[in-house]
């Protein structure tokens, strides 16, 4: 079924964008032209969830000024990311829709603060003839909407109809079969199961611990983008047109920047770490998921990720002596095996029905060349005659984040929480089982509701079996 969905429409703008994005990265520098010379206020795509329900169709949303050509409305600002999330091979375009001329509070290494009712747009296209960019057809549009001034975002998915004339809002998740012309398939076609997330599915990735917003952040936008023929650093362009509430200048060498996993001029390690960061670290980080004690954020040293030569907590995937990362042996590394399986152990767990051949090849090459000397084995840590301990947080005082380190003498349940000076619990950082050894976790100065805590002195307390210890830390706003 849905064989009729093998279709083509004129998509000159999309092809031009693709061509420009595939050009070698050219940085014009301070004296070159800006990607955009001026900012047009967004008066079209405006969504206030407190005032009523979201638009039920894309045609009613104000996203496009011309639905037949998919020309974005004036005031929408295009952007791209250095490391893309794998989405079953879909090609994506992205836009910022800030109300009117509202501005973003910039942070070089933290989360950007978006104005109320901001909308982040992502359009998904599939190639209906494999390997032919001209056959790309839009199949889905997603909105991530900031709910007023609250630190809360709501995700919405719109499914485009068969002739791509409009898209309807989904109230729940859906899966649709598409048939792709595929010369490598015996019958000339391959079937692709495409997943449309429901509103609740969006929170699986857009977690509080990851700052809710995953794409628009400094490390992802500190790179070049093709603006209708002009290639410029995105931060430079956004700063020039007044998107940020402060002037961030034009020197970004000291700002974080994730590598492009497809840029073979860069090192294997930076490319592989960027791939893991964009596809996995929104969950696998402090306060992410409790089922696996690994930290795949880009900036964390490999030796501190709890992956190298660590025994997996969630099964070995038919590898008898499996490790999360087994240096020099990708086939014994569950971090790769989970990307290759279609069982319940698959990662990412949703919206991933096709194996990412490029991404898995990248991880395989990186793991196979790792030296065992980089390993810090769980067995070595467990055998050390250590006692449970809670260490002083650093930095202290802090803003915006501080790291709390602790060590355990045996595997078991622990509870680590932040309290105010009156003894009222502010934030539960960990309430789960942890392995023996030394661990760390960050506190971002927010309470359990996601709200920023006030400046002042706080206590953090670790309970592990009969062990209990408390220390002080100071938050300065």
Q: For the residues of 354-409, what is the DSSP string, one character each?
A: S--HHHHHHHHHHHHT--GGG---HHHHHHS----EE---BSSSBSS-EEEEEEES
Q: Angle CA(171)–CA(173)–CA(174) in degrees, nearest 5?
A: 115
Over the chain (477 residues), what is each successive 10-residue block's mean pLDDT? 37 42 44 92 96 96 96 97 92 97 92 95 95 94 92 92 96 91 89 87 68 86 94 97 96 92 93 93 78 82 88 69 90 90 68 84 95 52 63 92 89 89 92 79 90 94 91 93
Distance CA(140)–CA(156), nearest Å, equals 10
Whether residue 74 is found in the same domain as residue 8: yes
State the pLDDT at residue 353: 77
Name the domain count of the chain: 3
CA diameter of the chain: 70
Asked whether residue 247 is domain-assigned, the answer is no
Whole-number Cα distances in Å, 432 to 112, 288, 313, 391: 30, 12, 13, 19
Q: CB 53: neighbour CB atoms within 10 A?
A: 8
Shared domain check, 393 and 351: no
Co-location of 282 and 348 in the same domain? yes
Same domain, 47 and 118: yes
Selection from 294, 310, 293, 281 nearest residue 374 by Cα: 310
Residues 370 and 447 in one domain: no
- Cβ contacts of 166-174, under 8 Å, gap ≥ 24: 166/57, 166/58, 166/59, 166/67, 167/57, 167/58, 167/138, 167/140, 167/141, 168/56, 168/57, 169/54, 169/55, 169/56, 169/57, 170/196, 170/198, 171/198, 171/199, 172/198, 173/197, 173/198, 173/201, 174/198
**How far apart are the C-alpha atoms of 352 and 341, rounded to whole Å?**
11
Q: Could you give the CA distance from residue 47 to residue 62 in angstroms, rounded to a whole number? A: 10
Helix (H, G, I), strand (E, B) or coil at 177: strand
Domain assignment present for residue 434? The answer is: yes
Q: Do the domain assignments include residue 422? A: yes
Question: Which residues 6+ apart lie within 8 Å of 51 measured at CB?
Answer: none
Pick from 440, 310, 300: nearest CA to 376: 310
253, part of any domain:
no
In terms of domains, do 188 and 208 share one? Answer: yes
Domain range for 272: 268-376
| 464 class by beta-carbon count within 10 Å (0-12 exposed, 13-18 middle, 19+ buried) | buried
User: What residues form DSSP beta bridges with 432?
Assistant: 414
CB 175 within 8 A of CB 351: no
What is the C-alpha to C-alpha distance for residues 334 and 316, in angstroms, rounded to an integer?
A: 7
The C-alpha atoms of residue 195 and residue 87 are separated, in whole angstroms, by 9
Q: Assess whether 318 and 447 both reside in one domain.
A: no
Distance of CA 336 to the CA centre of its chain: 18
**pLDDT of the residue at 314:** 64
CA-derived radius of gyration, the chain: 23
Do 369 and 394 fall into the same domain?
no
pLDDT at residue number 316: 60
Residues 396, 337 share a domain: no
Q: What pLDDT, on a 0 to 100 scale, did the predictor assign at position 373? A: 61
Closest C-alpha among 436, 203, 443 to residue 313? 436
Tell me phi and psi for residue 178, to 5 degrees. -115, 140
358 and 410 both lie in a single domain: no
The two tokens of residue 358 are 């490029």
CA distance 117 to 215: 17
Alpha carbons 132 and 182: distance in angstroms, whole number? 10
213 belongs to a structural domain: yes
Cβ atoms within 10 Å, residue 265: 9
Whole-model pTM above 0.75?
no
């Amino acid at each position: 079924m849905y064989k009729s969905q093998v279709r083509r429409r004129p998509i000159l703008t999309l092809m031009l964008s693709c061509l420009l994005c595939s050009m070698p990265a050219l940085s014009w520098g301070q004296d070159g032209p800006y990607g955009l010379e001026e900012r047009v206020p967004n008066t079209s795509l405006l969504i206030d969830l407190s005032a009523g329900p979201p638009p039920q169709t894309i045609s009613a949303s104000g996203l496009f000024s011309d639905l037949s050509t998919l020309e974005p409305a004036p005031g929408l600002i295009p952007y791209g990311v250095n490391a893309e999330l794998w989405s079953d091979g879909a090609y994506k375009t992205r836009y910022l829709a800030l109300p009117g001329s509202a501005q973003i509070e910039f942070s070089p290494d933290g989360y950007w603060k978006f104005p109320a009712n901001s909308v982040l747009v992502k359009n998904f296209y599939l190639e209906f003839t494999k390997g032919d960019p001209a056959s790309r057809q839009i199949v889905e549009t997603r909105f991530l909407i900031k709910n007023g001034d609250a630190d809360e975002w709501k995700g919405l998915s719109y499914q485009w109809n068969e002739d791509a004339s409009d898209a309807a809002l989904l109230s729940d998740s859906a899966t649709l079969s598409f048939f792709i012309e595929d010369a490598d398939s015996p019958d000339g076609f391959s079937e692709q199961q495409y997943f449309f997330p429901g509103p609740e599915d969006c929170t699986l990735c857009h977690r509080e611990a990851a700052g809710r917003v995953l794409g628009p952040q400094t490390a992802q936008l500190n790179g070049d983008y093709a603006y209708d023929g002009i290639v410029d650093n995105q931060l430079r362009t956004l700063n020039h047109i007044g998107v940020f509430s402060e002037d961030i200048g034009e020197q970004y060498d000291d700002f974080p920047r994730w590598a492009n996993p497809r840029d073979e001029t860069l090192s294997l390690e930076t490319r592989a770490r960027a791939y893991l960061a964009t596809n996995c670290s929104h969950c696998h980080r402090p306060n992410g998921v409790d089922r696996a004690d690994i930290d795949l954020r880009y900036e964390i040293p490999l030796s501190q990720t709890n992956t190298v030569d660590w025994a997996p907590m969630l099964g070995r995937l038919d590898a008898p002596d499996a490790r999360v990362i087994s240096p020099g042996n990708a086939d014994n590394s569950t971090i790769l095996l989970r990307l290759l399986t279609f069982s319940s152990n698959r990662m990412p767990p949703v919206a991933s029905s096709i194996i990412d051949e490029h991404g898995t090849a990248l991880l395989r090459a990186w793991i196979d060349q790792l030296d065992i000397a980089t390993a810090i084995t769980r067995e070595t840590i467990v055998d050390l005659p250590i006692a449970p301990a809670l260490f002083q947080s650093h930095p202290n005082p802090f803003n915006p984040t501080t790291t709390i380190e602790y060590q355990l003498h045996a595997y078991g349940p622990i509870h680590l929480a932040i309290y105010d000076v009156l003894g009222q619990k502010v934030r539960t950082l960990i309430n789960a089982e942890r392995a023996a050894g030394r661990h760390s976790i960050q506190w971002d100065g927010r309470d359990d509701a996601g709200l920023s805590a006030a400046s002042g002195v706080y206590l953090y307390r670790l309970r592990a079996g009969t062990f209990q210890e408390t220390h002080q830390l100071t938050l300065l706003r």
